[in-house]
Amino acid sequence: GESVGLHLPTLSVQEGDNSIINCAYSNSASDYFIWYKQESGKGPQFIIDIRSNMDKRQGQRVTVLLNKTVKHLSLQIAATQPGDSAVYFCAENIKNYGQNFVFGPGTRLSVLP
């Protein structure tokens, strides 16, 4: 059944350390994946995306890794900062245009001083 929101998985990291947030996606036909960051009271904010013809993509301080064999997606954040504290969602899309994105349950990242 649906997970209860108050039991959102939480990752606590020390400021300056690297963070790795994981996501298991559901559909082997998904061909486009996005990581979103959601701060309290705001909408999801785009971080980075990756298409299924790639297994790694890098942005500024962030890297997304895709393992299609095990349907696993990860987000790596280098040198985690207090401003990175938020809930992180992965989203998958089966068709490229005009179709819905399915969101994962989310992981709360807490950066400790």
Partner 1 sequence: EPEVTQTPSHQVTQMGQEVILRCVPISNHLYFYWYRQILGQKVEFLVSFYNNEISEKSEIFDDQFSVERPDGSNFTLKIRSTKLEDSAMYFCASRDRSPLHFGNGTRLTVT
> Given the rule CB under 8 A, which residues bind partner 1?
2, 4-6, 8, 34, 36, 41-46, 49, 89, 91, 97-106
Cβ atoms of 88 and 21 within 8 Å: the answer is yes
CA–CA distance, 64 with 21 (Å, rounded to integer): 10
Distances (CA, A) of 6 to 9, 18, 93, 107, 112: 9, 25, 26, 11, 20
How many C-beta atoms lie closer than 10 Å to residue 12's C-beta? 11
Quote the least distance from Cβ 109 to partner 1, whole Å: 16
Please identify, using beta-carbon distances, which residue of 10 and 14 lies nearer to partner 1: 10
Please identify, using beta-carbon distances, which residue of 6 and 29 lies nearer to partner 1: 6
Please identify, using beta-carbon distances, which residue of 36 and 77 lies nearer to partner 1: 36
Quote the least distance from Cβ 16 to partner 1, whole Å: 29
Quote the least distance from Cβ 35 to partner 1, whole Å: 9
